[in-house]
Amino acid sequence: MELRPRRFRTGLLIGAAFAAGIALGPASGFLSRHLGIDQAFAEDSNRTDTYRLLTLFGDVFERVRAEYVEPTNDRDLVENAINGMLTGLDPHSNYMNAKAFRDMQVQTRGEFGGLGIEVTQDNGFIKVISPIDDTPAARAGVKAGDLIVALDGKTVQGLSLNEAVEKMRGAPNSRITLTVRREGNDKPIEMSMTREIIHIQVVKQRLEPGDIGYIRLTSFNEQTDAGLKKAIQTLKQQSGDKLKAIVLDLRNNPGGLLDQAVSVSDDFVDQGEIVSTRARHPEDSQRWNAKGGDLVPNLPVVVLINGGSASASEIVAGALQDHHRAVLLGTRSFGKGSVQTVIPLPGNGAMRLTTARYYTPSGRSIQGLGITPDVEVQASRTETPRFGPEREADLNHVLKNQGGTPNQPAPPRTDLPPMVKEIPNKPPENWPTFDASKPDTDFQLQQALVLAKAMAGQKRVSLH
């Protein structure tokens, strides 16, 4: 669904290297109105302060050009200053040069070159949000939560996020070595991999025993909603139109485009609000409602979430939870409740600016809190210490949670099958080590399938 009514197409991001909305129009009016430029110069006192600060910037700029130990590039100085201004606001605002902006647009379409990892910056290092399925990074063993500390033996400290990502990109078939710090490991781990063109398969599906459909969404790009519709149709055909329930896997899905999150939610919700956004200026606030047409009416839906489920994933999970259209199973989500607008700038670069907070249909802001599942199930028996922040609330300069209903999780569900009480919240001691290629080792998925079957049985009983 194209968001045409507004000047900008809005993307919900997790601070990943490339996954965002693309602006649809000029930014000059937005900048003057929303960044307060007109107001700043309207009053003499504000104008004097602004001129004084701009003079200070100019003085520092000239002093660096004249006296830094090595010759400097004016463009680098200005772009670094702009990026510093934006990254100092919150974890998700930043500047993209022309190349980074082009790369972002390519990825939003679902294809880009590189290693296949979603990353953010964390205390000078590069943190892996999640590896993308079936990519060099995933095959090499990169995991969500890894901290990339060096590239080809050279530290990433001192590099901006865009600079680090550019170094990870390169010609297909070229090699690169990542050095990472991982939870539970005292020593750094080195991983060598070969770059390739990444074709993101954002939707995967398979039919599980008992005619339970399993659908995994890895991100929200321009292909997601169409891929979901196709996956549901395929599952219906494979089951001979006897599909009993759906398990929708949003684990480690870092988000992406807002319009895709709205469309995916709309595929399961018949009516009512899906999500709303509130900006600094009331006239820029928006609300999206379901258009009707549940693709699987009357079928139970179980949604899998974890700490890597962020942004657009949380919009879908929150909408389905608030409408009691699905039961959420897993662990608390990441907690990114802000909206970023990508604004093109002269010179073909762009800035990614946080412009609003979003709210679930019940009015909840999940910013810094995340979404609590209806049925909590851990992926493993032990929670090992992590290197660095784990969720949005742990990041620097994080936005406050404000403007929503009282900060509390959704009320307990009263429509769940009685067997929910029997679902263990962690694997038994003899549970096999998780292997992504073997679904029967995925404890959370197996419990979701058990729950889906029970809900399908309960549905049949209620229909008789």
Residue 33 lies in a domain: yes
- Shared domain check, 368 and 344: yes
Instruction: Identify the active-site residue in 276, 311, 333, 365.
Output: 311
Q: Are residue 207 and residue 195 in the same domain, yes or no?
A: no
Judge residue 240's burial from the number of C-beta atoms within 10 Å of its C-beta, 0-12 exposed, 13-18 middle, 19 or more buried.
exposed
- Asked whether residue 263 is assigned to any structural domain, the reply reads yes
Lowest model confidence (mean pLDDT) among 7-11, 94-98, 335-339, 458-462? 7-11
Mean pLDDT of the chain: 84
For residues 241 and 347, membership in a common domain is answered with yes
Residue at 1 is within a domain: no
Of 96, 100, 163, 165, the closest CA to residue 137 belongs to 165
Q: Mean pLDDT, to the nearest integer, of 125-135? A: 82
Output the pLDDT for position 147: 92
| pLDDT at 425 > cutoff 70 | yes
Indicate the number of domains in the chain: 3
Domain annotation covers residue 396: yes
d(CA 333, CA 26): 35
172 shares its domain with 265: no
Where a domain ends, among 199, 234, 262?
199
313 in active site: no
Give the per-residue pLDDT at 299.
95
Q: Please pick, among 127, 244, 336, 453, the residue that the annotation labels catalytic.
A: 336
- How big is the chain by its Cα radius of gyration, in Å? 23
Residue 18, domain member (yes or no) = no
Specify whether 40 is located in the same domain as 170.
no
Q: Given the residues 249, 322, 374, 442, select the one marked as catalytic.
A: 322
SS3 (DSSP) at 248: strand
Owning domain of residue 70: 25-88
* Percent over 90 (pLDDT), the chain: 57
Query: Which pLDDT does position 386 carry in this prediction?
Result: 54
CB-count exposure of residue 101 (10 Å: 0-12, 13-18, 19+): buried
pLDDT tens-digit series, residues 146-205: 999 999 999 998 888 878 888 898 878 899 999 999 988 889 999 999 999 877 778 999
pLDDT at residue 412 greater than cutoff 70: yes
* Shared domain check, 349 and 265: yes
Q: What is the mean pLDDT of residues 213-234?
A: 95
Does residue 184 sit in the same domain as residue 38?
no
Same domain, 236 and 339: yes
Domain shared by 377 and 260, yes or no: yes
* 99 catalytically annotated: no
Lowest mean pLDDT among 221-225, 270-274, 310-314, 392-396: 392-396
The answer to whether 317 and 262 are in contact (CB under 8 A) is no
Q: Which backbone phi and psi does 341 adopt, to 5 degrees?
A: -110, 130
32 is catalytic: no
**Is residue 174 located within the same domain as residue 188?**
yes
Choose between 361 and 103: higher pLDDT: 361
- List the CATH number of the domain containing 427: 3.90.226.10
